Amino acid sequence: MAAQCVTKVELTVACTNLLDKDVGSKSDPLCVLLQNTSGQQWYEVDRTERVKNSLNPKFAKKFLIDYYFELVQKLKFGIYDIDNRTFDLSDDDFLGEFECTLGQIVSSRTLTKPLVLKNGRPAGRGSITITAEEVKDNRVVVLEVEARKLDNKDFFGKSDPYLEFHKQTGDGNWVMVHRTEVIKNNLNPVWRPFKVSLNSLCYSDMDKSIKVVECYDYDSDGSHDLIGSFQTTMSKLKEASRSSPVEFECINEKKRQKKKTYKNSGVVSVKHCEIIVECTFLDYIMGGCQLNFTVGIDFTGSNGDPRSPDSLHYLSPNGVNEYLTAIWSVGMVIQDYDTDKMFPAFGFGAQIPPSFQVVSHEFPINFNPSNPFCNGIQGIVDAYRACLPQVKLYGPTNFSPIINHVARFAAAATQQQTASEYFVLLIITDGVITDLDQTRTAIVNASKLPMSIIIVGVGGADFDAMEFLDGDNGVLRSSSGEPAVRDIVQFVPFRKFQNCPKEALAQCVLAEIPQQVVNYFSTYKLQPPKNPAA
């Protein structure tokens, strides 16, 4: 599956206290950026200029990297003292290197770390500072448009008008960038306010031609009739205000050529046009937003006895199973966006010690209710392995308790009035959900909170109910009929990824998270705790 590039990131590099390898002068350092493809395979992305005679270089050339939230992008910065004209670095003095992920850099925004030699020892007192900046134009145009006295194209009733906005590409073709909703049976329509990025509308060029608006009469058979069109620019649209709308005659060229007395086919009125700046996903991350990761693990009896090789909880000779693979895959990406790396992990559907009398649907897998946190992803793995022999797998499969548990923390985070925390719950399960109505209600309530839910289905069960919870095919509703305000659930069956590279599962389930984060915080008009541009 192809990863979706969230944005481009520009990296600026500076070093201090580099090793001095030159006799009679100082080192002439250069920085090379390598990216990991798989295993120990590294390829060169780019390199900076050489800075002459400096142990504290500030490199002018920037590195431009495609940023993918759903991937662990491993980077290595190598510093070399360049004393010859060859491109090959193997004949230059090595001054140190630093290895990290792009996620670590963007979540810190500025990262300063010591340089190390090839043997892992410190490169003297040398250090590297990497600063990340998003390359973007995040201006958005907000438009309110209406029309009056449109031509009637329908024999019975009135026209059903909608608008299309087009921009001109470099080769002269017109590309549609926005279509309004259809207003039924109305020659004086008022369309809902809408937003479109400035880049999408006109390549951020205020004077570039916009072919607004082709105004059409909608027909259900697809044979929409053109009412009329006009061209304008963003500079002209910006003059609009509610007290003084900007108006355009809608012209139908065929009618004008046929009819000498033709005036227009109606008037389109732009009542409001405003350019605003919207935060991007990286604005929130660089501005201090933390992604809090919680894991919920299915310990119901349908998984099978963990001691049996047929069990989904059976640990293979190399110590893994589908549950652990899912935890590693998703957790390795998420962990870069949480500063303390302490992750709560819960089990559900088991009888737990010491009494084994009651089935618990929300127990910490480290059996410490006052501190359910595990230290890093490895801590979750260790707690899971220690927990397995201590619980009795039972049932039923109830999701709502653990969803409501995380939702309580997400609700508390909303009291901060800033975009400071967002919660990601990973539920790994083997089968059919029992408390479907309660889970639907829990998800609908959680859709109003800074929270997303990832469900990974392991084993070969029928996961139709899980597909139903994922709102891709329509709006999820609670048992009482209340709709979810956002689609926050992503479900995938693990079996789809059994023969794929280990990164594929995380790519699939995490691809929607950046947009879910942005949608939530922009809907509630919450700003990052720190100004990322500061």
Mean of the per-residue pLDDT values of the chain: 90
CA distance 182 to 189: 9
d(CA 200, CA 412): 37
| Homologous superfamily (CATH) for 139-277 | C2 domain (2.60.40.150)
> Is it true that 139-277 and 288-524 share their CATH fold?
no
SS3 (DSSP) at 23: coil
pLDDT for position 534: 47
Q: pLDDT by residue (tens digit) across 400-422?
A: 999 999 999 999 999 999 999 99
Beta pairing, strands 489-493 & 451-457: parallel
Residue 6 pLDDT grade (very low, low, confident, very high; cuts 50, 70, 90) = low
pLDDT digits (tens, 9 = 90+) for 49-92: 999 889 999 998 899 898 999 889 999 999 999 988 888 898 99
The mean pLDDT value for 194-200 works out to 87
Q: Decide if pLDDT at 349 tops 80.
A: yes
- Radius of gyration of the chain, Cα coordinates, nearest whole angstrom: 29
Is 214 a residue whose pLDDT tops 80?
Answer: no
Q: Among 59, 43, 61, which Cα is nearest to 51's?
A: 59
| Residue 43 identity | Y
Residues in a beta bridge with 312 = none
Domain ranges of the chain: 7-135, 139-277, 288-524
pLDDT value of residue 419: 96
Predicted pLDDT at 408: 97
Q: Which of 174-183, 237-246, 432-441 has the lowest mean pLDDT?
A: 174-183
Of the pLDDT bands very low, low, confident and very high (cuts 50, 70, 90), residue 309 is very high
Phi then psi for residue 324, to 5 deg, are -65, -35
**Residues 6+ positions from 41 with CB-CB distance below 8 Å:** none
6-16: average pLDDT: 90
Domain 288-524: give its CATH code: 3.40.50.410
> What pLDDT is stored for residue 1 in this prediction?
44
The CATH T-level fold of domain 7-135 is Immunoglobulin-like (2.60.40)
Mean pLDDT of 254-276: 93
Residue 88 φ/ψ region, left for φ over 0, alpha for ψ in the -120 to 50 degree band, beta for the rest: beta
